[in-house]
Amino acid sequence: MHSDIELDLKVLFQSWSERPAGQIVPVSAHGSSRRYYRIIEGGESVIGVFNPDRKENIAFLMLSGHFRRHGLPVPEIYKSDLDRHIYLEQDLGDETLFSLGAAIREKEGFSTRLVQMYKQVLEILPRFQINAGRDLDYTICYPRDRFDEQSIRWDLNYFKYYFLKLARIRFDEQALENDFNQFTEFLLQADSEYFLYRDFQSRNIMWRQEQPHFIDYQGGRKGALQYDVASLLLDAKADLPWPVRDELLEYYLEVLSSLIPVERDTFVRHYYAYALIRLMQALSLMRCKIWKAFWIGDACLSSCQL
């Protein structure tokens, strides 16, 4: 299987560059079902991607083109072959905000330098959400064009079945459903006419030439502003100190206020609600992966894969 993918990528590379591909090396995908390869030729490199989900590929390729037209730092797409589920994109290196942040914290703690890096990211996030979101054709988004009631229900049920039940946590099913109904109603009160990145976390922010670059937005859709900033600041793996989280949230609101009117108290109330549903999604995925690894191996249900 891998050799067939590598062969297809070599053919695609040669049709794009008019040179035979040199070395091709698998690259870690952090648990993604997609497969990444670094193709090296003549001292330069590109990333080759294989993903069997055609609709997801189309969403990523179309979003990439749209974001680049808005001047946003996302990888350039060089060439694609949707029939073979492959494409070539710009190589942004291996350093992420997460990996670089971990190295800095080991030497300096959570220093001013690291806070400034997060501020660089938060200066760009509203440009995705507002500027690029304003004229985006959301019909290309997959699997949903909006983080709507159905999307919320998916995440809440995912939490119920793949976290609470797998962990054998006792709960009153009807009381939980009542809470879910109330919670969903509150989330839907937030203004949701913006681009929602969906997986805006430090592992999906590459760091190249002292600047952030952004990947893995193929699950993006229309939604509320609060979701993405909560995903970044409350990411458990990054483990930002609470005073830093508060400082960065205020900085984001300052940047946001330069683009649109913001009612701070209302925004913050919904911010913590969206932080909660993002955390519930993360816990569910973590539990599902543990279940897959220790109980049923490769026979895990497809719904365990995001």
Cα dist from 193 to 35, 132, 188, 205, 242, whole Å? 32, 12, 11, 24, 29
pLDDT at 298: 42
Give the DSSP H/E element, type plus range, for residue 69.
helix 54-69
pLDDT at 74: 98
pLDDT at 295: 46
Cα dist from 81 to 5, 86, 185, 263, whole Å? 12, 5, 42, 46
- Do 97-304 and 2-90 fall under one CATH topology? no
pLDDT at 237: 86
Give CA–CA dist 293/287, Å, rounded.
Answer: 10
Domain 97-304 architecture: Alpha-Beta Complex (3.90)
- The CA angle 255-256-258, to the nearest 5 degrees, is 70
* 86-90 and 221-223 strand pairing: unpaired
What six digits make up the tokens of 292?
């897959």
CATH 3.40.50.2300 fits 2-90, yes or no: no
Q: Are 249 and 269 in contact (CB under 8 A)?
A: no
Its pTM stands at 0.90
Segments of the chain scoring below 70 in pLDDT: 1-2, 29-32, 286-306
Q: Are 203 and 237 in contact (CB under 8 A)?
A: yes
Cβ partners under 8 Å of residue 17, min gap 6: 41
pLDDT at 288: 58
pLDDT at 299: 41
pLDDT at 305: 38
- Please give the backbone phi and psi of residue 12, each rounded to the nearest 5 degrees, phi first: -65, -40
Give CA–CA dist 199/201, Å, rounded.
Answer: 6
Give CA–CA dist 18/156, Å, rounded.
Answer: 49
Q: Where are the domains of the chain?
A: 2-90, 97-304
DSSP 124-186: HHHIIIIIIHHT--GGG-SS-SB--HHHHHHHHHHHIIIIITTTT----HHHHHHHHHHHHHH
Q: Are 270 and 283 in contact (CB under 8 A)?
A: no
